[in-house]
Structures are given as structure tokens and as C-alpha cells.
């Protein structure tokens, strides 16, 4: 389910719509494993796909909203913290294939990452 080749179409949608706290917790746990973090750091397409997946289904319910926020802030953000410009450019190119709105959404999210990092550095 975590961006694996051959994962059934609609699997994530089913998980999101289920709202099952145990399944969502298991998904979040799997995403938080070090090996998956390495994939996010090594594969821009995987990072882009996860951004799309984890920002999809707004309004699907509080369980998914909490899970997606935890995935973005606790898994993807740390994985991209030290990403090279080339990695980020490749990630943006992957997102652009789905339309400029995806790139814009990523840029807005990533900009918040940089702004919060500066606030921490400046003691705020």
C-alpha cells in the first residue's frame, strides 16, 4: 500500500474511507519505518506519490485528517529536510505530471517547512 508496485487500485481510498483507527495506525506505523524513510530520500517519485496520497481525500473524516497530518509532518517532512536541489526538482517534475496544482500545493506545504525551520533557528 505504501507506493508498492502492484498495489490494488483504490486500496488507499478504501483505507481512508474506512476510518478504521487500527488500520490507519498500522499504515502510519509502516510509513514511519526507517526503510521507508530511506525510500523517500532516495526516490523522488515515491516522495511525490506519497505527498499526493497523503494530501488526498480532504474532509474524509477526523481519523484520516489526523493520520495524513502525522504522515506529512512526521514522515515526509523529515525525509525531505536534507533533500538536495536535484531531488526536489525531480519530485516537482513528478508532481507536475499530475498538473500544476500539485506543484503549487507542494510548494505551499514545503514553504511552511522552511518558515518553521527559520523560526526554530531564530528562537521563535
pLDDT in tens, 9-60: 688 889 999 999 999 999 999 999 999 999 999 999 999 999 999 998 888 8
With H, G, I as helix, E, B as strand and everything else as coil, classify residue 42.
helix
Query: Are residues 70 and 113 in contact, defined by beta-carbon separation less than 8 angstroms?
Result: no
Distance of CA 32 to the CA centre of its chain: 11
Stated pTM of the model: 0.85
The DSSP output letter for 60 is S
Amino acid at each position: 500500500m505504501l507506493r508498492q508496485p502492484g498495489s490494488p487500485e483504490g486500496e488507499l481510498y478504501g483505507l481512508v474511507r474506512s476510518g478504521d483507527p487500527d488500520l490507519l495506525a498500522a499504515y502510519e506505523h509502516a510509513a514511519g519505518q526507517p526503510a521507508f524513510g530511506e525510500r523517500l530520500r532516495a526516490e523522488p517519485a515515491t516522495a511525490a506519490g506519497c505527498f499526493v496520497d497523503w494530501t488526498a481525500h480532504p474532509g474524509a473524516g477526523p481519523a484520516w485528517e489526523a493520520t495524513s497530518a502525522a504522515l506529512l509532518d512526521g514522515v515526509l517532512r523529515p525525509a525531505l529536510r536534507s533533500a538536495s536541489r536535484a531531488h526536489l526538482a525531480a519530485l516537482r517534475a513528478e508532481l507536475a505530471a499530475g498538473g500544476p496544482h500539485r506543484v503549487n500545493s507542494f510548494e505551499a506545504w514545503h514553504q511552511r517547512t522552511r518558515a518553521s525551520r527559520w523560526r526554530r533557528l531564530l528562537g521563535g
